[in-house]
A and B are shown apart, each in its own frame.
Chain A
Amino acid sequence: MNRVTKRTWIMGLFLLVLLGGMVFFLWEYVTQAGDWVVFSGSPHVYNNANIGCGTITDRSGEVLLDITDQRTYSSDAATRKSTLHWLGDRKGFISAGAVSHYAGKMAGFDLVSGIYSSSGEGGQMTLTLSARVQNAALEAMAGRKGTVAVYNYKTGEILCAVTTPTYDPDNAPDIASDTTGQYEGVYLNRFLQSTYPPGSIFKVVTTAAALDCVPGILDKTFTCTGTYAYGTESVTCEKAHGMLTLETALSHSCNCAFAQIAELVGKKNMVKYVEQFGVTDSLSFDGVTTAEGNYDISNTAPVSFAWSCIGQHTDLINPARYMTFMGAIAGGGVGAEPHLVARVSAGEEVTYEADTVKTDRIMSKEVAGQVRQFMRNNVRTIYGDGNFLGLNVCAKSGTSQLGGGQTSNAMFAGFVEDEAYPLAFMVVVENGGYGSATCVPVISKVLSVCKAVLDGQ
């Protein structure tokens, strides 16, 4: 008997596996349950592939999406189209990363209570977007592809971030069998996921670099004859601009002058400032990360380096990131990181409230002030203040050449210099042609609606 009794410890092995396994699971529960509950398809939080619990409204409280039962989008067709890429579609082709990021908060998840809500109500999420501005931007794009974005560089709230093409989720077209190309890249959120050759809007980067590192740059003059030769190759302008200062070189967007400015800055400094300004970094907010830009001048000939300072060569920027760069200039060297989700509540409890996150200081107050002044000059002397009634707009346009016989992309970046309307913006119209001519009417409409929305608050 003793022998048999002693051998019963073998059962202890099984008990050890059982209890050890349970302890291991509890550890996993404590460390991972928050991820499990918001994993795509989690039945209490999701409705198919997109978040499915509660309602999502814009900044004014207008309901954009009600997912307590099924996915019910806004009753307004234009709003459905203009906000689709932030809310996600029914089939999960467009993943609404920023909104999904707060699924757990919206469901009111915590380790003790799970997603149990004593009030039995679903969650509520308020976006910083304004449906009114979104619709105005969509309309201003007039069927062209690209993106229009506006954000408050003091608080970080994104008022507008429209991406086109888009479609009405309640009236979805047959995208798969479309041959016209009008829905090309329709599932892409261009504001976040695309990168574009910046063209002349990149001259702002070169200008800021020159102001910081070239002594006496403001007293220097540059002569434009229409071409600036590097051996057999050259940098060209559409016409000869004559003698220019840094300020007029920027306002006339003179390539030849900027080729000379690039030489003064030098390759090493240019790389340093691109990194310091962060214009090619990816940007992360609300759980989404933007595409990374590109600035690569290793092993390049002098002419290519010159083009790289003019925003061509292999330069690429992401609209969201460049808009944030504009915000930093507007803010005197420090802006706010953009965000899309203002507030989340589950039942009666507020589970998330956005905070303003300041960017790092990317340039001195003096340099930022000087660049701001130059950009203000651009609008006053070139783009025309009449396009922006009641707003002190500072901006730079760009016409980025694509090659392959394609029409250039029209780019426009800038901000409003006004305490009451601290807005930075970015417009891209793909194959839109001449930058300012195409983009100014678009942003002019959008900013006027933004102003009205801010006035109305």
Chain B
Amino acid sequence: MEELFSSLALAQESYAAAYIGILRFAVPIISAILLLRCAMPLLTFRREPEIWAWLNMTDGTQIPITHWESVIGRSKSSDVTIDFPTVSRNHAVLTRYDDGSWTISDAGSKDGTWVNGRKVQICALNDKDRISIGGVEMQLQPITQRQEARQAEIRTKAASGWDSVANLMLLSILQCLMLLGFLLNCRQEDTVSILEGFGGILICQWVLYIFYCMIHRKSFEAETMAFFLCTMGMAAIATVKPGEAVKQLAAVGLGVMTFLVIGWSLRDLERAKAVRYLATVAGVGFLMVTLVFGTEYYGAKNWLVIGGMSLQPSELSKVCFVFAGASTMDRIMSKRNIYTFIAYSILICGLLALMNDFGTALIFFCAFLVIAYLRSGSMGTVALAVTALIFAGVLALKIAPHALRRFSVWRHVWDDPLNAGYQQVQALMCIASGGLFGLGPGQGFLKHVFAADSDIAFATISEEWGLLVAVMMVLCVAAYGFFAIRTARVARSSFYTIGACTAASILVIQTILNCLGTLDILPFTGVTFPFLSNGGTSMIGAWGLLAFVKAGDTRQNASFAVRLNKKGG
């Protein structure tokens, strides 16, 4: 096989040029078909309300319980509204577990929550248990196992297995076409590493898919899109630093493992809550280690060099932060929990201030805003707002002045094309040179510009593969965002909703800062593009975040992060 490729590489130059002529159009067309096929199911799946139990009131009325976590209270925004003066605004939380059991917990109500005449903080519910909330009596009647099985049957199925195989085949064809384009144009000595890089991703995606088949999961859309982005990242590396292809491949492998591990830990809510503590500690740990042993590049102390390997542990801290921020409904309703999260956020904020890393600080700040907004019930709002202010203050006073110097050229890059605006000006020139279909693999100039495979990777891809493909990469990330919003309505627990939304937000924000920074629409911050940019920790972090997005997918047989119902399976 390798001999075949090397002999092809030696073929006439005109032969290579003719091939590029076709490739320029083939890549955007295949990518568009692939991404449409992947994104459509994520954006259009039916979100049918599911009833998990009934609340039988004494007057004979039945109130359907449509979530695994439901707030009962007087407030109109409660899941179960009981408009009775003695009921608190947020009175109690009903929670369903994987095994079908239910608990009720008090949400700091004035009159307390009573079960069988006993005042309880949290209490497992059995059949016929009498619940009393503010003097209103009710009984919980979970649906039967048969009903549950029926519900699973009619639930929107994840894409059929054949769809996923077809998508993967398309992606594989794309990878082979791109690989061949590189082999025809690259230097002899880079042939092997480029071959290993592209081939490795191809194998990696099929191995993961076969593993999915083994555990009866069929949805592979989000993963296919991630592999598409990884492939484009590999294309950037193949042209900029072909020697690092294998390293990046290893990062993809580690990323996929992280994805599986986090997905597994999210699968069981109780396990997730346990892992959460570990992640919380790790998140701070990563930052502290960087601060103590880290190396300063360009004024930001965010690199850790271990035995020749450069790591950016703050990328992993993002994943931990999502863990720390996600929370179940009953905990959201408790004051103590919010204060813990606030204290944690302030600690993170302080560490980032010491590191002087503006880009990362901005991402954490936005992630904090998302978590804070999603969580803040009536009681936490003020406290969270204050914390947000502190966060913003530190950002503005401590880190921004240092970063401002780099921002001075924002929207003025053409006035300083050789110094402060160099990367953006080169990026824009090369994007224009590439047009919609690109100049072909290895034909770009941006590879000579600093950070062509990371900070301005968007432009590198645009130059060689065309603006259409580059825009599709952005749409990929946007699709994750829309998906996270859509799944929220059918999410089983607020833990998953908060996790998916925060993780997707981080992916989207990184894309915003990376792309719009490169294009001089926002200040240039040097943040990585998820899955695309060359960088091991960034790749692992992106896969970790994807696990949270995936965990929100409740379609039948969709996500390994959601446990299959034994009978519904």
Q: Mark out the residues of chain A between 22 and 45 whose CB falls within 8 Å of any chain B CB in the assembled complex.
A: 22, 24-26, 28-29, 33-34, 36-37, 39-45
Determine whether A112 belongs to the interface, using a CB cutoff of 8 Å to chain B.
yes
B374, A25: Cβ atoms under 8 Å?
A: no
State A118–B373 Cα separation when bound (angstroms): 53
Determine whether B453 belongs to the interface, using a CB cutoff of 8 Å to chain A.
no
Q: Mark out the residues of chain B between 505 and 557 whose CB falls within 8 Å of any chain A CB in the assembled complex.
A: 505, 508-509, 511-512, 515-516, 519, 521-522
Nearest-CB distance from B18 to chain A (Å)?
9
State A11–B480 Cα separation when bound (angstroms): 11
Nearest-CB distance from A42 to chain B (Å)?
4
A interface footprint on B336-373 (CB within 8 Å = 1, 0 otherwise): 00000000000000000000000000000010011001
Determine whether A235 belongs to the interface, using a CB cutoff of 8 Å to chain B.
no
Question: Which of B21, B374, B431, B474 sits near A22, CB closer than 8 Å?
Answer: B474
Given known A113-B437, A114-B438, contact A2–B432 (CB-CB < 8 A):
no
Q: Which chain B residues border A111 with CB–CB below 8 Å?
A: 435-436
Determine whether B414 belongs to the interface, using a CB cutoff of 8 Å to chain A.
yes
Give the residue name and chain of the B residue nearest to A24 (CB): B521
Nearest-CB distance from B257 to chain A (Å)?
27
Instruction: Sort chain A's interface into a size bin.
Output: 35 or more
Question: Which of B425, B430, B431, B474 sits near A18, CB closer than 8 Å?
Answer: B474
Interface residues of B: mostly helix, strand, loop or mixed?
A: helix
Given known A6-B77, A18-B478, contact A112–B437 (CB-CB < 8 A):
yes
A37, B432: Cβ atoms under 8 Å?
A: yes
Q: Which chain A residues border B431 with CB–CB below 8 Å?
A: 29, 33, 36
Determine whether A352 belongs to the interface, using a CB cutoff of 8 Å to chain B.
no
Determine whether B194 belongs to the interface, using a CB cutoff of 8 Å to chain A.
no
Give the residue name and chain of the B residue nearest to A7 (CB): B374
Segment from B54-62, B315-323, B482-490 that makes contact with A: B482-490
Determine whether B388 belongs to the interface, using a CB cutoff of 8 Å to chain A.
no
Given known A18-B512, A41-B417, A112-B436, contact A8–B484 (CB-CB < 8 A):
yes
B79, A8: Cβ atoms under 8 Å?
A: no
Nearest-CB distance from B11 to chain A (Å)?
15
Q: Mark out the residues of chain A between 123 and 174 whose CB falls within 8 Å of any chain B CB in the assembled complex.
A: none
A1, B484: Cβ atoms under 8 Å?
A: no
Segment from B273-281, B293-301, B496-504 that makes contact with A: B496-504
A44, B21: Cβ atoms under 8 Å?
A: no
B interface footprint on A39-79 (CB within 8 Å = 1, 0 otherwise): 11111110000000000000000000000000000000000
B439, A9: Cβ atoms under 8 Å?
A: no
Given known A1-B79, A3-B77, contact A115–B433 (CB-CB < 8 A):
yes
A36, B439: Cβ atoms under 8 Å?
A: no
With an 8 Å Cβ cutoff, the count of chain B residues facing the other chain is: 67
A18, B437: Cβ atoms under 8 Å?
A: no
Give the residue name and chain of the A residue nearest to B445 (CB): A43
Determine whether A405 belongs to the interface, using a CB cutoff of 8 Å to chain B.
no
Q: Mark out the residues of chain B between 2 and 22 whose CB falls within 8 Å of any chain A CB in the assembled complex.
A: 17, 21
B509, A14: Cβ atoms under 8 Å?
A: yes
Total A-B residue contacts, Cβ distance less than 8 Å: 165
Give the residue name and chain of the A residue nearest to B479 (CB): A15
Q: Which chain A residues border B366 with CB–CB below 8 Å?
A: 14
B515, A22: Cβ atoms under 8 Å?
A: yes
State A113–B374 Cα separation when bound (angstroms): 45
A113, B521: Cβ atoms under 8 Å?
A: no
Q: Which chain B residues border A110 with CB–CB below 8 Å?
A: 435
B515, A37: Cβ atoms under 8 Å?
A: no
Segment from B65-73, B199-207, B259-267 that makes contact with A: B65-73
A7, B430: Cβ atoms under 8 Å?
A: no
Nearest-CB distance from B421 to chain A (Å)?
11
Given known A4-B488, A115-B435, A116-B437, contact A15–B70 (CB-CB < 8 A):
no
B445, A8: Cβ atoms under 8 Å?
A: no
A116, B24: Cβ atoms under 8 Å?
A: yes
A19, B69: Cβ atoms under 8 Å?
A: no
Q: Which chain A residues border B71 with CB–CB below 8 Å?
A: 1-3
Nearest-CB distance from A33 to chain B (Å)?
4
Determine whether A120 belongs to the interface, using a CB cutoff of 8 Å to chain B.
yes
B508, A8: Cβ atoms under 8 Å?
A: no
Q: Which chain B residues border A40 with CB–CB below 8 Å?
A: 417
Determine whether A415 belongs to the interface, using a CB cutoff of 8 Å to chain B.
no
B435, A43: Cβ atoms under 8 Å?
A: no
A residues contacting B by CB (< 8 A) are 1-12, 14-15, 17-19, 21-22, 24-26, 28-29, 33-34, 36-37, 39-45, 107, 109-116, 118, 120
B residues contacting A by CB (< 8 A) are 17, 21, 24, 67-71, 77-79, 329, 332, 366, 369-370, 373-375, 377, 414, 417-418, 425-426, 428-440, 445, 448, 467, 471, 474, 477-478, 481-482, 484-485, 488-489, 491, 494, 497-498, 501, 504-505, 508-509, 511-512, 515-516, 519, 521-522
